[in-house]
Each structure stands twice: as C-alpha cells, then as structure tokens.
Amino acid sequence: MEIKPGLSRIRALCAAFGNPQDKLRFVHVAGTNGKGSIVTMVSHVLKLSGYVVGKFTSPYLVDFCEKIEVNGEQIPPSAQTRIRGEVLKVAKELKDDPPTEFEITTAMAFCYFAECKCDIVVLEVGLGGTLDSTNIIKAPDVCAISSISFDHENLLGNSLKEIAREKAGIIKEGADVVVSPWQHQEVRSEIGRIVGNFRKINLVESQVRREELMIRTTFKSTSFVYCGVQYNLVLPGVHQVQNCITVIEICKCLEKRGFSIDLGALPRYLNDIKFAGRLEIISENPLIILDGAHNIGGFKALCEYIDTNLGGKRVISLVGMLTDKAYRDCIDALAKRVSGLVFTKAKSERAVHSEELASGIVGPEIYFNDDLDLAAEKAEEWLQSADALIITGSLYLLGDAKKIMFCGKEEMVC
C-alpha cells in the first residue's frame, strides 16, 4: 500500500465531483486501536435509529466492497465499478502527483454516500489524522479518538505525545470531541492541550475506572455496567468495553445535536453487534478465532483475552505480520501464552518472511512457511478438538486465511 501523506491529491479528486463530502455530516474516528469497532457500533445504532448511514472502514478482509457500506449493505459491485471508473478518469489527469489507492477509495466513498443521500457518515481514518485523506471534511458533528498506542512510528512520531498530536489532527472548531477512556496520561494531556486551542468545542472524556464497571467476560461475550446501566455484548474482549463506552458518549453527543437516538435503547442496540476479524469466532469446536491484532496495543488486548478466557486450553496461533510493525515485541508476548506458533507471510509487499518471524522464539513448538496454504495445513494438523487456534498479526492475513481454511466448510462462516 503506497503511503503519501498530504491533502492536495484528495482535494483535487473531490473538487472534480463538486466536493460531495461537503454535502454530508460525519462522525470522524481516529486512533491506533478500536477504530473499526467504534465505527461499526455507531453505524449500527444510527441505522436502528432510522437514519441512512454511510460507513467507511479500512482495510477489508475478503472483498473490497466491505470498505464502503450504507445501512449495513456493501456498495454493489456495479456501483463500485462505475464510481471507481469515474474517479480513476480524474486521477489519470493528475500525472504530476498521482493519487494513492486509499485516496481514490476515499473519493469513491464520498461520491457514493452523497449519491445515497446519507443522513450521516461514520468515517474511519486510514492513517494518522492530520494528513489522512479523510481529513478534508469540514467540522464533523463528533470527532472520536480511540485507544492510542505505538504504531507507524516512522510516520507519526516516536512518542505517545507525537502520535496523539497526529491523531488529534482531525479535531475541528465546533465539533464535539470524544476520547476513549483509559488513555495514557501523555495522550490525555496532549489532546487536552490541542482542544484548548479552539474557541468552540466540547471535550468528552470518561474518567471511569475499570474496577467500577463490574466487567464480566467469557470467550465469546463481555458484560459491564456503565452509568448504572447494564450492557451485554457478543463482542469478546475487555478492550471492547473501552470502545463501547466511547460509542455511548458519541451517541449522547449526537442526541444533543438533534439526532433522534433513544439512549435508553442503547443496551438493546449494542447487544447483538458482531465485527469480522476482531476476536471473531469462526468455530467453537475446535475453537478458531480470527483477530486483527497487528501492533503492540492490539497484541496486549489479545494476550489479555487469552489469559482471561483460554486458561484451560492448548492454544495454537497462525501468525503473519508486516515489516513496519513492532513484530518482535508482539510475537514475544504471544509466545509466552501459546503451545505452538505457525508463521507465514501475509500477502503484502510489506510482509515479513516467516523465517524472520520465527527467529529467536523459545518455548512453543515452531513451524514457518511463507506459503499460506502449507502453513494453514500445519496449523490444522496441530489443532485438536479441545484446543484453540488464533489467526492473527495482520488484517491482510485474516482474509486470505479465512478463504483458504473456512470457506465452504460446514459450521464455519465465510
């Protein structure tokens, strides 16, 4: 994936179509981890509240059309082909500074959402915030900052303060700003400083502590109490509590801004949301899980899930990661919790070779092969009915593994 920070190319693309983004209202979500979950939950609540809702996420798992949805329905292939062709025609005219694939996709999304007359769009940042192509929008109704940790340091900075500053680049005058709870103090201080530079802005930051929430987890669900209300999620993992609280506060802000959202119905609206590729349970016997952890924050959440819910199981993991991630720290943390590690090479030009991923690992049984088909065969060979298999390390890996291992098999979802 080509990365060229800057807004000039996306501005040129969108200007050619009459700036469709200016016809839309937005919830804009930046952060390191949790963006996709927050976007999915907010979109679902707004849809159930009666609105026409656009949703833009990245990357996709199996099909490109997953990135652009309206009311839970992916952009039809015919519309995707038509709009992409129109955007590419304009992109070819920008020969001196050609747009990236992500910029082309962002322009497509804006065009489609305007065409569908969306009441509101829930928009996920691709990378960073300040110079991300989604950041050409005018002030959204809500800017949300999800959990911030280290990732893309070569582009965003080598400290949490620098990374937070880049993520907070989506904040604009007049918006409500919702910050996920449990952020590092360095992150909170930097976002507070940035918000203080604006004259008209509303900062919402829940200071609730974990021990106040009465959190209960199983391998496939999470429950907690927030502001005296019980929430029961079919999304596993304690980190989803953090994301869900962020969603609740976003909905409160939208309700104050005139959106008709029944806040009392939020527990019901949120209790059946599922999210592909985030501790997604593909099979229960044996237990097979797809998780998009790809940085140290994501692996910390995955390891907490294993510690909390899989203590009685032998755990195998199929792993592929990218070169611009702290893959050694991530794998070292995972290796302490599993019996077997199968390494492969994700299908990306930035993927790490499996032999490099496997080097220096002590403890679990190790197998490595750049060929995903052969690596997947080995993982299945090691897996017994009482075991758990976790496929993780890169969203690029998850979609391909899902197609290879699960499509067409009984009792498994593709």
- pTM for the full predicted model: 0.93
Answer whether 61's CB lies under 8 Å from 36's CB: no
Answer whether 161's CB lies under 8 Å from 64's CB: no
Question: What does the pLDDT profile of the chain (414 residues) look like in tens digits?
Answer: 567 888 999 999 999 999 999 999 999 999 999 999 999 999 999 999 999 999 999 887 878 899 999 999 999 999 999 999 999 999 999 988 999 999 999 999 999 999 999 999 999 999 889 999 999 999 999 999 999 988 665 667 679 999 999 999 999 999 999 999 999 999 999 999 999 999 999 999 998 999 999 999 999 999 999 999 999 999 999 999 999 999 999 999 999 999 999 999 999 999 989 888 999 999 999 999 999 999 999 999 999 999 999 988 999 999 999 998 899 999 999 999 999 999 999 888 889 999 999 999 988 999 999 999 999 999 999 999 889 999 999 988 998 888 877 654 444 444
Tokens at residue 13, please? 């693309």
Structural domains in the chain, sorted by start: 8-206 (3.40.1190.10), 280-405 (3.90.190.20)
